[in-house]
Structure 1
């Protein structure tokens, strides 16, 4: 790891701050994962009574009461009954999640049609996915960005070189740490920074500064990566 980091640092310095695109191969390990795509929401007729009635909890036909086929394209905020915005109450989100899971719990459909039993499992899976997305600031930020029709950058060619250098330095700190107390201190710093970035994201979304949103989300990805390195180092120390 140390040899890789030192090699990257020399590559950055050697560019004399020229575009990082010239060193794309050297920084390929920092390539960001591709963002997920979500289908467009639709409102088909009830599979049982064939009526296009308003759905209860976005899932149950208000006429015949049958659980509908899962709508994988439904807006996660609509599914969990939240306004489409970055700021949300985590406790309220958890309550909404639990209420929905109670509605689609498999035990409620054990004596129903096989189609509803399948739908129950499908809705439960989607609700879990929606909750995970909205409950995590970075996931929620990326999802909102997609709703705006924007994409996260797929490489680091436009990233600030000083930022990359700082991230490599922090990775070195993790690698050099010799005890859990030092690692806990480094992790505490990251937690504070991530909380500050989440607050910043709220302001950026409110002002529709999507360029700032992307930059902040990328920075959060790097900090989360370092957090993961800390966890791995802690496990390594426990095993030694």
Structure 2
């Protein structure tokens, strides 16, 4: 489980504030990201203890993340770790830059995606995994069957497809708002209420998987794995 130093799950601070990162091992300057020092420019090898995506972008753990702010942080940190800046620095430095740049991009992708961000929080707060809750409720599975029938019996671009897409998008929005409610403030997994909230978020995430698969069929894109 990963938590911010000195903070308990369930407490919150403004997500726009940079989460504390410690000091640079080279010059002792405060770090804004565990991947590199903004003062002396040294790259930091974090392969022995991979930081959280929130720590990488200098954010506190929270469900609500400002995508524009995350993008600004991505660009700022990329100037410190992108491999293009280390093309002539030697093989070891180039390899480290590639490693840290990959970690940076993956952290950003998680933080700007509501589903992946919620999944990270549930897993790292000790909540259930995708397969830990068993089958979905029968009522929901019947609804999924109706969606599939509509997709099988109608042509892309038809009124039925458009109506189904609107229904799926509305249900998706509802589930995201439900997840936001459970994760704001962040639940304390040590309490019965917190453990139940994480379980409820996992149920919503599992339902979103079905909805997103149906939406990919509506759009004609390959279904996600």
TM-score normalized by the length of structure 2: 0.73
| Cross-structure match for 2:210 | 222
Work out whether 1:201 is the aligned partner of 2:189: no
| Mapping for residues 1-240 of structure 1, pairs under 5 Å | 46=25, 55-61=31-37, 65-71=41-47, 73-154=50-131, 157-182=134-159, 183-206=161-184, 208=187, 209-232=197-220
- Contact 2:63 2:118 (8 Å CA) reproduced: yes
Partners of 1:185 and 1:97 in 2: how far apart? Answer: 37
Count of paired positions: 193
- Contact 1:70 1:122 (8 Å CA) reproduced: no
Unaligned runs of 5+ in 2: 6-21, 188-196
Matched residue SS, 2:128: coil
Partners of 2:117 and 2:151 in 1: how far apart? Answer: 28
Partners of 1:196 and 1:100 in 2: how far apart? Answer: 34
Partners of 2:125 and 2:132 in 1: how far apart? Answer: 20
- RMSD between aligned residues: 3.0
Q: 1:91 to 1:181 in 2, by over 3 A?
A: farther
- Contact 2:175 2:208 (8 Å CA) reproduced: yes
Note the C-alpha offset of 1:127: 1.1
Bigger mean CA offset, 142-151 vs 106-115: 106-115
Note the C-alpha offset of 1:179: 3.8
Note the C-alpha offset of 1:111: 2.5
Bigger mean CA offset, 131-140 vs 69-78: 69-78
- Contact 1:197 1:216 (8 Å CA) reproduced: yes
Note the C-alpha offset of 1:220: 0.7
- Contact 1:68 1:116 (8 Å CA) reproduced: no
Question: Residues 57-112 of structure 1, C-alpha deviation per residue, up to 9 Å, x if partnerless?
Answer: 21225786421224462011111122211111111112212222222122211222
- Contact 2:172 2:208 (8 Å CA) reproduced: yes
TM-score normalized by the length of structure 1: 0.69
Q: 1:216 to 1:81 in 2, by over 3 A?
A: same
Q: 1:206 to 1:179 in 2, by over 3 A?
A: closer
Q: 1:65 to 1:95 in 2, by over 3 A?
A: closer
Note the C-alpha offset of 1:118: 0.8
- Contact 2:34 2:46 (8 Å CA) reproduced: no
Larger Rg: 1
Which structure shows the bigger proportion of residues in helix conformation? 1
Question: Residues 33-67 of structure 1, C-alpha deviation per residue, up to 9 Å, x if partnerless?
Answer: xxxx99xx9x9x95xx6x87754521225786421
Partners of 1:63 and 1:100 in 2: how far apart? Answer: 12
Bigger mean CA offset, 113-122 vs 151-160: 151-160
Partners of 1:224 and 1:159 in 2: how far apart? Answer: 15
